[in-house]
Structure 1
């Protein structure tokens, strides 16, 4: 049985009226991982799974459009109708203190560890969550940032997070069934920290990915433009991560 990828949102750097920021649900059999928790993604997540049934959360980096809904998830987990043990949370170094600093509004530090069982990521981090195997590699985004390869049985899905083109992402995605790759930048700049659509195509080609899904498309590009430009550099199938869409690996 293959992996299932549901797009909760992919807007950047703020939500659109019909598109939350970056967030995805990866599932396989009974295992469910919320991958990035960008602004507005907690709502559509609940169309597909309850917080009680979530097995883990994985966060690529701490920019708000990839992590802000951890704050609302914290309130749901501790102060509402959700009853469960702390959710395993994989995220960049310093994620616990970052959350606590935002949530604390008094003399006592907010108990983020009561809501989340936190593991800090590092390059080549390995984890098993239910039926899923997660391999994390550092990527290039100007701050601590990571991509992840998720595998189950013989299926694989690789997610870029936010990153400039880099060899570590190509290596992480080598022969992956599906590459979910950001394509925010409309044009290449000397200090860029993102892919252009052409870069996403090059990364997919270099990795010999079986399929490319472009996501996190910037405000100065349309989805159609991003797909067409990525297709000019990659001969496999290219699709856009439209919110609400579910993709499956072979």
Structure 2
């Protein structure tokens, strides 16, 4: 796997809370020696260490600030500053506007604000934000989740992975995923809610988004607890002609 120009490792994909064998949303995206921790849901820091140490992570990217996508930033802060890890510099952290103050609110226990910036070099995302992290290029787009939320396209070596984060179907995600090798897309909802309440994909929506974007491969993730992974894959496959997989925890997928 190390020779693959781009690879995705699933740390967890449970929602809205971790199960005994599945952490919440978190992924390790790697190319050569570059590693980005994408979403830091509950339990993902433990799973990350099966592959790399926190001090080997080149950046962290957070789609939105719901706990099942970001809660392990709190334990990562303590690991980075008060344990056996010695960082050469704060870890670049890409996340929605206000992420530093949100972390400080949870971490501060007295009159003095916790020094979150000693652990994380914070970069706030905006629609169209681009960043270069080692071998990886990351482009973020705002998506429709009822709070500030982002999807990301990660590219290296001519390969491309797009991660939806949590979102209703939206033009920004489809445009971001155009022609990608792999679309990693959530399938939280068992059934479509009223249009003005929709903030997630159903499995059918996931297939539709992959088809509209002409993705090469679809990986279904963040499957809601009223669905089984097999049901989600089958329902997405009815709307997308390409290969469809489930983001099983611990699995590493070569991209492309």
TM-score bracket relative to the smaller structure = over 0.9
Determine whether 1:201 maps to 2:204.
Answer: no
After TM superposition, the structure 1 = structure 2 runs for residues 132-151 of structure 1, keeping only pairs within 5 Å, are 132-151=136-155
After TM superposition, the structure 1 = structure 2 runs for residues 213-228 of structure 1, keeping only pairs within 5 Å, are 213-228=219-234
Gaps of 5+ in 1: none
Which residue, 57, 64, 68 being the options, matches 1:65?
A: 68
Does the residue aligned with 2:23 lie in a helix, a strand or coil? coil
Determine whether 1:82 maps to 2:85.
Answer: yes
Determine whether 1:240 maps to 2:243.
Answer: no
- Shift of residue 2, structure 1, vs aligned partner: 2.5
CA RMSD across the alignment: 0.5
Deviations 1:102-149 (A, max 9, x none): 000100000000000000000000000000000000000000000000
Does the residue aligned with 1:32 lie in a helix, a strand or coil? strand
After TM superposition, the structure 1 = structure 2 runs for residues 1-250 of structure 1, keeping only pairs within 5 Å, are 1-84=4-87, 85-190=89-194, 191-250=197-256
Does the residue aligned with 2:81 lie in a helix, a strand or coil? helix
Displacement over 4 Å in runs of 4+: none
Does the residue aligned with 1:179 lie in a helix, a strand or coil? strand
TM-score norm. by structure 1 comes to 0.99
Alpha-carbon separation, structure 2, partners of 1:52 and 1:41:
15
- Shift of residue 153, structure 1, vs aligned partner: 1.7
Matched positions, count: 250
Does the residue aligned with 2:112 lie in a helix, a strand or coil? coil
Alpha-carbon separation, structure 2, partners of 1:48 and 1:40:
14
Alpha-carbon separation, structure 1, partners of 2:160 and 2:148:
24
Alpha-carbon separation, structure 2, partners of 1:52 and 1:185:
36
Gaps of 5+ in 2: none
Alpha-carbon separation, structure 2, partners of 1:208 and 1:69:
33
Alpha-carbon separation, structure 1, partners of 2:17 and 2:157:
36
Alpha-carbon separation, structure 2, partners of 1:249 and 1:226:
21
Does the residue aligned with 2:14 lie in a helix, a strand or coil? coil
- Shift of residue 52, structure 1, vs aligned partner: 1.2
